[in-house]
Amino acid sequence: MSPTLDEIRRVPKVLLHDHLDGGLRAETIVELAREIGYERLPSTDPDNLRAWFEEASDSGSLVRYLETFDHTVAVMQTRESLIRVAAECARDLADDGVVYAEVRFAPEQHTTMGLSLDQVVEAVLEGFTQGSAGPDGRPRIRVGTLLTAMRHQARSMEIAELAVRYRDVGVVGFDIAGAEAGYPPTRHLDAFEYLQRENAHFTIHAGEAFGLPSIWQAIQWCGADRLGHGVRIIDDITVADDGTAKLGRLAAYVRDKRIPLEMCPTSNLQTGAADSIAEHPIGLLRRLYFRVTVNTDNRLMSSTSVSQEFHKLVEAFGYGWDDLQWFTVNAMKSAFIPFDERLALINGVIKPGFAQIKWQP
């Protein structure tokens, strides 16, 4: 029997690629907009607003897709709103069975109402702490924070320094995001070199909208620990009629070095990086044993969760519990926390959780 969605929700999961401003509850957006007097929402009815976000994200128009973030970011400009959004994010992920998550956001996008970068980070960290606690006060989920710099701006060094400054209190890494074409990661080389000198972790959005050169630069010039999306690595793999695959030098390097790929299947469909779940490169990459992980990207825009992403893969590729555990362990191995802490979650939480459901009568 294939894993059902309800069963998948019950196993421990790990999430490495999730944007805070892409996962708000529709009800929260409406309430926060009312509190600050933001009047540009397409609808003030939560159900209609949720439907608008989904439709705009599925429209095939990049302009409309990006417009959705204008509204979420607009209501995330006060300390109180950031705490609330972060707390709700942690609760929603924990309710979906996520035991470890790395959630990213760009501090520079949340200062229009006077908050400093430090105040933004501190508010989000406080929210994650509040939202991670269960009714008994014990944490239901561990949330690590990634600080993102926008690749079309010139504040990456400032954000990198911010990430290092807060790395002992919840920030686990750094990221750059935004349009790939015309904004190569090498524009931010000074920030990446600084992070390497500081022994800090970082991932880079690469190989989603742009191709192999973006991936090559992210790895070989900038030294990325992980690749955000990375779906275009498929362009360096040739599959013969008999199904055998030949890897180009870059693809072979990515696989041999076990560089994690933060793949987001539903989001990749919306942005045109894949035509369907069944045709998504994740199927071939899993078969070839790349370090593939499964992620949500933007839960509101994609109307998804980690459990739903897994279930779509089960339906498309016939995956079973061993496959889902493989993806989950991959993600935990690739997290930006110390090795002993990753190992404790793998052996103490993830494997026992999967064993319980795999061997239940």
Q: How far apart are CA 188 and CA 196, in angstroms?
A: 13
Q: How far apart are CA 72 and CA 74, in angstroms?
A: 5
- Coil, strand or helix: which one is 173? strand
Q: How far is CA 353 from CA 22, 54, 124, 279, 345, in A?
A: 28, 32, 29, 30, 10
DSSP for residue 314? H
Please report where in the chains the tokens 């059902």 appear, as a residue: 4
- Coil, strand or helix: which one is 103? strand
Helices (H), 143-188: 156-165
Q: Please return the burial class of 10, using the count of CB atoms within 10 Å of its CB with bins 0-12, 13-18 and 19+.
A: middle
Q: Give catalytic residue positions.
A: 208
Which phi and psi angles does 13 have, rounded to 5°? -130, 160
Any residues with CB less than 8 A from the CB of 63 and at least 6 apart, and which?
Answer: none
